[in-house]
Amino acid sequence: MHAHTEPGDLIPLKVLIAGGFGVGKTTLVTSLSEIPPLLTEQAMTSASIGVDEADMVPTKTTTTVAMDFGRITVDDSLILYLFGTPGQSRFWFMWDELARGSVGAVVLVDLRRIDDCFPAIDFFENRRLPFVVGVNRFPGADDYDVDTVRDALALSSDCPLVWMDARDPKSSRDALVRLVEHALARTAMARAG
What confidence tens digit (pLDDT) does each residue in 152-189 have? Answer: 999 999 999 999 999 999 999 999 999 999 999 998 88
Report whether pLDDT(98) > 90.
no
DSSP per-residue letters across 71-138: EEE-SSSEEEEEEEPP-SGGGGGGHHHHHTTEEEEEEEE-GGGGGGGHHHHHHHHHTT--EEEEEE--
Kindly state the average pLDDT of the residues 97-110: 94
Kindly state the average pLDDT of the residues 40-53: 56
Kindly state the average pLDDT of the residues 20-41: 88
Q: What is the mean pLDDT of the chain?
A: 84
- Position 1 scores a pLDDT of 44
Closest CA to 11 of 62, 64, 75: 75
- The pTM (predicted TM-score) of the whole model is 0.82
DSSP letter at 46 equals: G
- Position 58 scores a pLDDT of 53
pLDDT grade, residue 95 (50/70/90)?
confident
Give 80's Cβ-side CA count (13 Å radius): 24
- Position 39 scores a pLDDT of 76
Closest CA to 178 of 121, 110, 131, 126: 131
Please list, in sequence order, all residues whose beta carbon lies within 8 angstroms of the beta carbon of residue 151, skipping any fewer than 6 positions away. Answer: none
Report whether pLDDT(13) > 80.
yes
